Amino acid sequence: MPAVSAAACCAAAATANEVAEDLFGFLRVLSDGTVLRSPAGPVFCPTTFPGSHPSVEWKEAVYDKAKNLHVRMYKPTPTPTASVGKKKKLPVLVHFHGGGFCLGSCTWANVHEFCLRLAADAGAVVLSAGYRLAPEHRLPAAFDDGAGFMRWLRDQSAGGAASDGWLSEAADFGHVFVTGDSAGGTIAHHLAVRAGSGSGSAAADPEPGLVTVRGYVLFMPFFGGVRRTVSEAECPEEAFPNLDLVDRFWRLSLPTGATRDHPVANPFGPDSPDLGSVDFPPVLVVVGGLDLTRDRTVDYAERLVAMGKPVELAEFAGKPHGFYLHEPASEATGELIQTVARFVDGCGAITASEAAA
């Protein structure tokens, strides 16, 4: 599918072809399949968010040159006491942004601000990884990119000339957690399934590094299904996202001809893999009480618990989808990050076999 990013040609192209899909004017798909992306940030991603944090260092790198995929890396600034002696290695939170698989970037101001606070308040190295977007790259491209990032991380942990010393000096690659917001949470789910079922490339090839994934955190994951849930059917039009927007995301991101029951969207669809046979590590699932995805997310967590999987559900009553991105400095976002920190601490205990090693 052809893609055009220059803003100057957007208006001219749109007049020559009928606009088939329009996401806030930020992403337009024309009747001939042309994709127009505005270089400007969307209105719901204000540039007024702080771009720095007094106790966090950050840098950006390319993790896949062929696909031009970037990662923003964040780490807490060492305290004066810690800088004198041996620096303590910190857990690593791999993070995938949301946006319905069609929008979003690790460079967007709200994602950046949330990751700054996540690194500071959770005391962790945060790796905010980008991935290819639909409709130029339909699913499962985003999942494949997520797997590619995990391979990059294993290469980093192995050391050598290609590793980044800025990252390796702070990161405890033995305590890695895969997190994701909305569509990013769906990526995290699929990475967990690939790893837990032995279907990922990491299972087929010996790992070159020392990465151990201790758990997954799904912030309001973006799942779908043909049958509407109550929270979807009763979602008010003024909500963000509303049902119309969610349906548009799926139309643009699903494999051509697929329905919302496709395995990439519905973890319990008719053709989806049996999750009962998947070896899940601990999983934290976060849901908002006012989120249209609430019922589907709660059902996901409850089904996994019924299968005997180590899943914890944290519900934030009265909160909409992605509240931590709209209010990254809020008290509620602080409570969310502390929930994540407790989960990470609880999964970080050294096992008897590790202690003996």
Residue 209: pLDDT above 80?
Answer: no
Question: What's the pLDDT at 84?
Answer: 52
Residue 2: pLDDT above 90?
Answer: no
Residue 3: pLDDT above 50?
Answer: no
How confident is residue 15, by pLDDT bands cut at 50, 70 and 90?
low
Count Cα neighbours of 330 within 13 Å in the Cβ-side half-sphere.
Answer: 12
Question: What's the pLDDT at 228?
Answer: 98
How confident is residue 16, by pLDDT bands cut at 50, 70 and 90?
low
What's the rounded mean pLDDT across residues 136-152?
A: 98
Question: What's the pLDDT at 159?
Answer: 87
In order of their start, the domains of the chain are 53-77+89-198+207-349 (3.40.50.1820)
Question: Is 182 annotated in the active site?
Answer: yes
Judge contact between 264 and 254, C-beta under 8 A. Answer: yes
pLDDT in tens, 70-89: 999 999 998 655 555 567 89
Of the listed ranges 2-6, 166-170, 337-341, 346-350, the least confidently predicted one is: 2-6
Distance CA 136, CA 37 (A): 11
Question: Is 291 annotated in the active site?
Answer: yes
Question: Is 157 annotated in the active site?
Answer: no
Helix, strand, coil % in the chain, rounded to nearest 5: 35, 20, 45
Question: What's the pLDDT at 40?
Answer: 74
Distance CA 169, CA 171 (A): 6
> Hey, what's the torsion of the CAs at 146, 152, 156, 158, to 10 degrees?
110
Spatial CB neighbours of 349, under 8 Å, sequence gap ≥ 6: none
- Helices marked H in the chain — which ranges? 10-16, 80-84, 109-122, 141-157, 165-168, 183-197, 201-204, 230-233, 243-253, 294-306, 323-326, 331-347, 352-356
Could you tell me which residue, 145 or 6, shows the higher pLDDT? 145
Spatial CB neighbours of 282, under 8 Å, sequence gap ≥ 6: 214, 215, 216, 310, 311, 312, 343, 346, 347
Distance CA 197, CA 2 (A): 35
Average pLDDT, the chain: 89
pLDDT in tens, 125-136: 999 999 999 999
Question: What's the pLDDT at 25?
Answer: 86
Of the listed ranges 5-9, 108-112, 114-118, 188-192, the least confidently predicted one is: 5-9
Question: What's the pLDDT at 1?
Answer: 38
Q: Are strands 125-129 and 90-96 parallel, antiparallel or unpaired?
A: parallel
Question: What's the pLDDT at 45?
Answer: 61
Judge contact between 104 and 323, C-beta under 8 A. Answer: no
Distance CA 177, CA 164 (A): 19
Q: In the structure encoding, which two tokens stand for residue 113, read together?
A: 């601000």
For the chain, the C-alpha Rg in angstroms (whole number) is 20
Judge contact between 157 and 176, C-beta under 8 A. Answer: no
Q: Nearest to residue 77, comparing CAs of 123, 110, 112, 113?
A: 123
Spatial CB neighbours of 188, under 8 Å, sequence gap ≥ 6: 96, 146, 178, 179, 180, 216, 217, 218, 221
pLDDT in tens, 23-80: 988 899 999 999 999 887 666 565 557 788 999 999 999 999 999 999 999 999 986 5
Residue 352: pLDDT above 60?
Answer: no
Burial of residue 127 (CB within 10 Å: 0-12, 13-18, 19+) is buried
Burial of residue 308 (CB within 10 Å: 0-12, 13-18, 19+) is exposed
pLDDT in tens, 318-327: 999 999 999 9
- Point out the catalytic residue in the list 95, 97, 190, 321: 321
- Point out the catalytic residue in the list 105, 157, 182, 253: 182
How confident is residue 199, by pLDDT bands cut at 50, 70 and 90?
low
Question: What's the pLDDT at 9?
Answer: 46
How confident is residue 198, by pLDDT bands cut at 50, 70 and 90?
confident
- Point out the catalytic residue in the list 121, 145, 181, 291: 291
Q: In the structure encoding, which two tokens stand for residue 148, read together?
A: 């590619």
